[in-house]
A = this chain, B = another copy of it.
Amino acid sequence: MTERPDLDEIDRRILRELQADGRIRINELADRVGISHPNCLRRVRALRSSGVIKAIRATIDERRLGYEVVSFVTIQLESQHQTALGAFEAAIMPLPWVQQCWRISGDADFLLKCVSTGVEGMSRQLRQFAALPGVRAIRSFPSLGQSKDEPLPIPGHGDGAPG
């Protein structure tokens, strides 16, 4: 929320560690990045309150919770006006099985990540999308599994230039 203009190398190291293990102890973290504990604590707090760190959360195995199907869905609306886009977002907001919604450009207006307990659930969801006002086209991409999930590359050591 607050502004935090420039991150130095220490901050970037902190971010790397926190992406690898969000529950790392402040002491351990301070040792790894090479600063004192109090300073490290201050920096972590600043990074969190400034919004550079959006959140620290557990990610859960969908299947172990009974969600057998993860699917991606692109949605194209009939109109790309703010009101139509906003109305769609408002409509999917209360649906708990829509985990993520991204506004995109290209052949569609939204990309959604959905979870369901089975294929019946998935097709029910697609019908529900189709019933929303202003929806022109729906494309569904059931996931067969995730083959890569890496933290954000953080420039500054040997992480490879981002391009």
Contact = CB atoms under 8 A, between A and B. Distances in A.
A81 interface: no
B102 A72 contact: yes
Interface in A15-73: 15, 18-23, 50-62, 64-67, 70, 72
Shortest beta-carbon contacts, A-B, top 4: A96-B153, A101-B148, A18-B58, A121-B163
Interface of A: 4, 7, 15, 18-23, 50-62, 64-67, 70, 72, 74, 89, 92-93, 96-108, 110-111, 115-117, 120-121, 124-125, 139-155, 159-160, 162-163
A141 B66 CA distance: 30
A148 B100 contact: yes
Nearest to A74: B141
Contacts of A147: 89, 101-103, 110
B56 A98 contact: no
A103 B51 contact: no
Given A67-B152, A141-B106, A163-B116, A19 B96 contact: no
